Amino acid sequence: MNVSPNEAAHRAASDAEQIAWVDDEDRLQGSLGRADLRERGLIGRGTYILLFNSAGELCVHRRTLSKAIYPGYWDVAAGGMVQADESYAESAARELEEELGVSGVPLTAHERFFFDQPGNRLWCAVFSAVWDGPLRLQPEEVLEARFIPVEAAIAESARKPYCPDSLAALKRYLQGVAKPS
């Protein structure tokens, strides 16, 4: 794995961040370091921000190789772990700005759901936003990003590694906004 010194330092700081620790009903239990939470198989909170442009295309980005889970995978959502002193909405706004350089846009909250996979147990809050400005990628977390049609992202996820938690968020979002025929 070819990881830059900046990525390694960022990963170490990330692993030490104090994350909201919750139970299986999303009730706050306290806070733990991110790595400790993951290693102990406990449940945290995560945000997933689906960023669209005004043409309806979805921003997909590729994660750096230093990420603790899903390194190098493609991701259909910006986002991350909710810190101990944050709400879901505060976390979503922070993560969107950190990862993609997008700030000051209205975030629409959709739903929360539980995602349970070994090493990744989360209560997930799904948000969406529309942005037509430039992206400013965080080099320690994001290798590249582009806007593509939603259908293309879903088709590509069958051929390339995509983060399963953010794909679950996207699929739930699409089911919720789909209009009956």
97 with 39: CB under 8 angstroms?
no
Q: Is 30 helix (H, G, I), strand (E, B) or coil?
A: strand
50 with 58: CB under 8 angstroms?
yes
Q: Is 3 helix (H, G, I), strand (E, B) or coil?
A: coil
Which class for 50: exposed (0-12), middle (13-18), buried (19 or more C-beta within 10 A)? buried
- Is 99 annotated to bind a ligand? Reply is yes
Q: Which two tokens stand for residue 16?
A: 């030490």
* Strand-pair category, 43-52 with 120-130: parallel
Report the run of H or E that residue 165 belongs to, with start and end: helix 164-177
Binding positions for Mg(2+) are: 95, 99
Binding positions are: 95, 99
